Amino acid sequence: MKLCMVGTGYVGLVSGACFAETGNQVVCADIDEKKIERLRAGEVPIFEPGLEEVIERNVAGGRLSFSSDVAAAIAASEVVFVAVGTPSRSDGGADLSAVDKVAETVAESVEREMVLVLKSTVPVGTNTRVRRIVAGAPHPVHVVSNPEFLKEGDAVNDFLRPDRIVLGCDEDGPARDVMGRLYHPVCLDRDRIVWMDPVSAELTKYVANTMLAMRISFMNEIAALCEKVGADVHSVRHGVGSDQRIGSKFLYAGPGYGGSCFPKDVRALVNTGREAGVELELAATTDRVNDRQKGVIARKLKQHFDGDLRGKRVAIWGIAFKPRTDDIRESATLTLIDTLLSEGAQVVAHDPEAMDEARPRYGDRVTFVDDAYDAAMGADALVLMTEWRQYQNPNFDQLAAAMHRKLIVDG
Ligand code: NAD
């Protein structure tokens, strides 16, 4: 099928490349001309394990290309996916301006009957809103909601072997047929498609992310309680997670969840509830608990140094919001660095993949080092923020020799 992926970020690039991998003719289109130039030059602008190989193979096979002419790419396609960003507005709701813009471009550029698929995370009512925008197009445009559940760090695998594919579609017609065919290659062993109406599909994405975030916030509160009463949160997690009704995933305490999805999606769900007159108290508290948790490491350091961080040299291992990605959006490390700098500490940071993302934000206010052990040289404390595998079994003798004080805070 001829397919256009509008928005070539973490979701669009992975999805576009994987749809090419399953035999479709895909154009990844984006208004960011620099990004498109880099992709055309064979560079992959994000770090995502396995993605580079999929892109290389499909570009070489003539199935995958890149364009900054979004209108032309849309006009040439039978199926258009919307994978643009939907960041938080100041009231917590989702900013849909990029989605609207793509829908307007579709309405102006469409040259045949087509299927328009909303893959971006969008609030309840967006399918209807987009349908209104494309209603005046010269050819029928069928609008389907298809929220994405891939995890950064394992996105290619998630796309090709998904737990489920949620499709929100009101009509029994060409859209269902097209979506069924597109996802058929990843449903060979079992049908993974969960069909529903568009409103339910839109809500499913927010509910899934909020429920995962809620588990993390709950365990972060329990970790604080464990510290006070002398329990070990890892033992508690193990004991609790072995109950099959609960399950072991997303029960790890840490320095607060980050990323481009959980914080914004929890807030957006709270906002949807508010607009609908339903107070979603658990979701709202999940967000508040996480905000507080993002200050936990700085509070521990401050307490250790009798309230004075001035001149203290703090080494940080891990800037990305989780391992196996270079994505630093809303990472707890950023909150920590901001606090340390405002308290007069010196920060030396290392991350295997995310330093290029962090450099523009801090310039020379933070020292970035290529070798993790160089960060520890003369440090008063070492903080482990992102659980990259390479940090998991460090050479403690080397650290002890390098550090000024032997203090490690494990987030
Ligand atoms: P991103 O910021 O990495 O990428 C968005 C891309 O859209 C950018 O390259 C931007 O230049 C482009 N864009 C913006 N406006 C455009 C326009 N009018 N026309 C063409 N391109 C345009 O974002 P992302 O992380 O890929 O997320 C995209 C959507 O998917 C969001 O709604 C997000 O919530 C959702 N989502 C993200 C993840 C994830 O792990 N990142 C997972 C599931 C769902």
Digit-coded pLDDT (tens) for 104-155:
999 999 999 999 999 999 999 999 999 999 999 999 999 999 999 999 999 9
Write phi, then psi, for 253 (nearest 5 degrees). -70, 155
258 lines ligand 1 (CB under 6 A): no
- The preferred substitution site among 130, 148, 324 for testing ligand 1, maximizing ligand atoms within 8 Å of CB, is 148
Name which of 113, 138, 46 is nearest 83 in CA terms.
46
Ligand 1 mean position, distance from CA 199 (Å) = 21
Digit-coded pLDDT (tens) for 20-52:
999 999 999 999 999 999 999 999 999 999 999
32 lines ligand 1 (CB under 6 A): yes
52 lines ligand 1 (CB under 6 A): no
Q: Name 32's bridge partners.
A: none
Digit-coded pLDDT (tens) for 203-244:
999 999 999 999 999 999 999 999 999 999 999 999 999 999
Task: Read off the pLDDT band of 171 (50, 70, 90).
Answer: confident
Q: Does 172 have pLDDT greater than 90?
A: no
Digit-coded pLDDT (tens) for 365-375:
999 999 999 99
- Find the mean pLDDT for residues 301-326: 98
- C-beta of residue 81 within 8 angstroms of C-beta of residue 42: no
2: amino acid identity, one letter: K
pLDDT in the model for residue 173: 85
- C-beta of residue 255 within 8 angstroms of C-beta of residue 411: yes
Q: Is the dihedral of CA 226, 232, 237, 240 positive or negative?
A: negative
Longest distance between any two alpha carbons in the chain, whole Å: 71
State how far the Cα of 299 lies from the Cα of 308, in Å rounded to an integer. 11
- Looking from the CA of residue 86, the nearest atom of ligand 1 is 32
pLDDT in the model for residue 309: 98
Ligand 1 mean position, distance from CA 291 (Å) = 24
Q: Does 15 have pLDDT greater than 90?
A: yes
- Looking from the CA of residue 12, the nearest atom of ligand 1 is 26
pLDDT in the model for residue 314: 98
Digit-coded pLDDT (tens) for 324-349:
999 999 999 999 999 999 999 999 99
- C-beta of residue 269 within 8 angstroms of C-beta of residue 214: no
Q: What is the mean pLDDT of the chain?
A: 97
11 lines ligand 1 (CB under 6 A): yes
- Looking from the CA of residue 122, the nearest atom of ligand 1 is 32
- Find the mean pLDDT for residues 180-187: 97
Percent of the chain whose pLDDT exceeds 90: 99
Neighbours of 320 (CB within 10 A): 28
Verify whether residue 187 is a known catalytic residue. Answer: no
Q: Does 406 have pLDDT greater than 90?
A: yes
pLDDT in the model for residue 154: 97
Total-model pTM: 0.96
Ligand 1 mean position, distance from CA 286 (Å) = 24
- Find the mean pLDDT for residues 69-91: 97
Ligand 1 mean position, distance from CA 82 (Å) = 9
- Find the mean pLDDT for residues 309-316: 98
